[in-house]
Amino acid sequence: MIRRREVSALEVFRAVRDRIEEVERKVNSYITLTLEAAEEAARAADDRLAAGEDPGVAAGIPLAVKDVLCTKGIRTTCGSRILENYVPVYDATVVSRLKRAGMTMMGKANMDEFAMGSSTENSAFGPTRNPWDLGRVPGGSSGGSAAAVAAGEAIWALGSDTGGSIRQPASFCGLVGLKPTYGLVSRYGLVAFASSLDQVGPITRNVRDCALLLALIAGHDPRDSTSLNVEPSDYLAALDGGVRGMRIGVPRELVQEGLTPGVRKAMERSLEIFQELGAEVEETTLPHLDYALSAYYIIAPAEASSNLARYDGVRYGLRVEGKDMLEMYGKTRAKGFGAEVKRRIMLGTYALSAGYYEAYYGQAQKIRTLIVEDFRRAFQRYDVLVSPTSPTPAFALGEKVEDPLAMYLSDVCTIPVNLAGIPAISMPCGLEDGLPVGLQIMGRVLEETTLLRVASALEVAIGFRERPKAGRGVG
């Protein structure tokens, strides 16, 4: 409509800005709002349209950017005190690509500190609340991104996913979230958590938006040494293929105990739909997935302990003086990092220390290889694998903060995907007690097209049109 000039970019901007003014106090989706720059971007898009120029595919579309992505001249906190006043001197590649496409960035979205968490309660800037139920978490770590889209405070959002941080919040907020194949989207300017697992991806209301946003951010970047040198596929063209004749596997290891009855029911209903649409569905086994969570909680903290060594008060962010350099380091890190980040640094440092390296890190890497092998074997037979995205719908604020293991289990179904480097999407597939439930669809390396096709078929068949309601949520 913007491109056809049925509505102006400025009108769209104002509508979303008004919504932010109405609900942001309750939801806390954003750490930093950039409404002035957004208004300017919207005006620029309108001017270009009026002049008959192409303003870009994303022109005038209000976007929320997770605060883990560097934005030139706009502070980038990663949800941490240690970066509270950090202002990057460059844009992440995904951000510069979207700027070129004419986007209107409304602000930097709230998140768990350094993307460590599943509830956005580990943010130094206060928790984000779930727009469907303000007493519940939006998921995490990209909880601000998901809540912003679900509450109408943005049309699209970018998140990052190391173990589930795009898919789980998308699932908790009734949205579509995609974790691309490792290397499809540039990590340049994405503040590193666990570099071998991190990927940037879209959080949107529907599959079509997901395909559009993915197309804008995917593609080779010489500034990221792990970026794949491949031509991205035509994601939009993939949507209408249907699932007839497809083989769909359901890994037994991901549908064990711990699923709530509503999650099980919504998943089973989705499987029936796939069958009605002409796909073959069967249970299968990927035996090493049982060890994925354990391996992840060695590998991810190990990488994090190394990546976070740079926050020492010398170059970036917070600095607390001490009588000598070591004391300055210690005081800076003690004050700047929150409890979960410290826990991860300690776990990772321990797992990498002399004498324990082979017993922990080495073993975890072997398990990772076995998981890669399990997926490779499964994808010889199946086009996609499906599972719930998370074993439960959104949980209550405060429910898991004292119990890290319970929090970690929220990602038990999503973590294997990151270890294997494959793509996966979360799709809304029903409600349990008025809260959204997500279905995870996993695919072969670089087969985002297949995921979008299956997701689109499910979207059409289910017709998920539910929205948060006023009172319990923000209507």
Q: How far is the CB of 202 from ligand GLN (least distance, A)?
A: 15
Site string for ligand GLN, 289-308 (x = CB under 6 A): -----------x--------
Min CB(344)–ligand GLN separation in Å:
8
Q: Which is nearer to ligand GLN, 170 or 266 (CB)?
A: 170
Q: Which residues belong to the active site?
A: 66, 141, 165
**Smallest distance from the beta carbon of 192 to ligand GLN, in angstroms?**
11
Angle between helices 292-307 and 339-352 (to 10 degrees): 100
User: What b-and-e string marks burial along 277-303, b requiring 16 or more CB atoms within 10 Å of the CB?
Assistant: bebebeebebebbbbbbebbbbbbbbb
What mask of x and - would describe binding to ligand GLN in positions 149 to 168, judged by CB under 6 A?
------------xxxxx---
Which position among 118, 233, 270, 332 is part of the footprint of ligand GLN (CB under 6 A)? Answer: 118
Q: Nearer Cβ to ligand GLN, position 78 or 211? A: 78
> By C-alpha distance, which of 84, 2, 77 is closest to 45?
2
What six digits make up the tokens of 233?
A: 């596929």
Residue number with CB closer to ligand GLN (115 or 425): 115
**Interatomic CA distance for residues 85 and 82, integer angstroms:** 8
Instruction: Say which DSSP state 191 is in.
Output: P
H or E stretch including 408? helix 404-408
Question: Between 192 and 386, whose beta carbon lies closer to ligand GLN?
Answer: 192
115 counts as binding ligand GLN under rule CB under 6 A: yes
Q: What single string gives the DSSP state of each residue in 416-466?
A: HHHHHT--EEEEEEEEETTEEEEEEEEESTT-HHHHHHHHHHHHHHH----
Contacts (Cβ under 8 Å, ≥6 apart) of 372: 419, 420, 421
Cβ distance to ligand GLN smaller for residue 20 or 300: 300
- Pair 151, 141: CB distance under 8 Å: no
- Report the distance separating Cα 96 and Cα 102, nearest Å: 10
Question: Which of 145/456 has CB closer to ligand GLN?
Answer: 145
Tell me which stretch binds ligand GLN (CB under 6 A): 43-51, 109-117, 256-264, 322-330: 109-117
- Beta-carbon count within 10 A of 237 CB: 12
Sheet holding 62-66, edge to edge: 30-33, 104-109, 62-66, 156-161, 199-204, 176-179, 424-432, 435-443, 384-388, 247-251, 280-284
Q: Which is nearer to ligand GLN, 24 or 411 (CB)?
A: 411
Binding to ligand GLN (CB under 6 A) within 185-204 occurs at 193
Query: How far apart are CB 412 and ligand GLN at their closest, in Å?
Result: 10
Rounded distance between C-alpha atoms, residue 37 and residue 319, angstroms: 30
Binding flag, residue 345, ligand GLN (CB under 6 A): no
Using the rule CB under 6 A, give the single segment among 81-89, 115-123, 228-236, 355-363 that binds ligand GLN. 115-123
Write down the least CB distance from residue 197 to ligand GLN, Å.
8
Closest separation in Å from C-beta 320 to ligand GLN: 26
String marking each residue 303-342 x if it binds ligand GLN according to CB under 6 A: ----------------------------------------
What binding mask, one character per residue, do residues 398-417 give for ligand GLN by CB under 6 A, x or -? -------------x------
User: Of 2, 61, 116, 228, which one interacts with ligand GLN (CB under 6 A)?
Assistant: 116
- Beta carbon nearer to ligand GLN, 60 or 177: 177
Residue count of the chain: 475
Please tell me whether residue 383 adopts helix, strand or coil conformation.
coil
Build a one-symbol-per-residue string for 234-263: x at contacts with ligand GLN by CB under 6 A, - elsewhere. Answer: ------------------------------
Contact segment (CB under 6 A) with ligand GLN among 112-120, 258-266, 442-450, 466-474 equals 112-120
Minimum distance from residue 323 beta carbon to ligand GLN (Å): 35
Give 389's contacts (C-beta < 8 A, 6+ positions apart).
164, 167, 168, 170, 171, 413, 414, 426, 438, 439, 440
Tell me the C-alpha distance between 297 and 319, whole Å: 29
Q: Residues 380-397, buried b or exposed e (16+ Cβ, 10 A)?
A: eebbbbbbbbbbbbbbeb
Question: Quick check: 141 binds ligand GLN (CB under 6 A)?
Answer: yes
Q: How many residues bind ligand GLN (CB under 6 A)?
A: 13
How far apart are the C-alpha atoms of 167 and 18, rounded to whole Å? 28
> Whole-angstrom Cα distance, residue 155 to residue 148?
8
Residues that bind ligand GLN (CB under 6 A): 115-118, 141, 161-165, 193, 300, 411
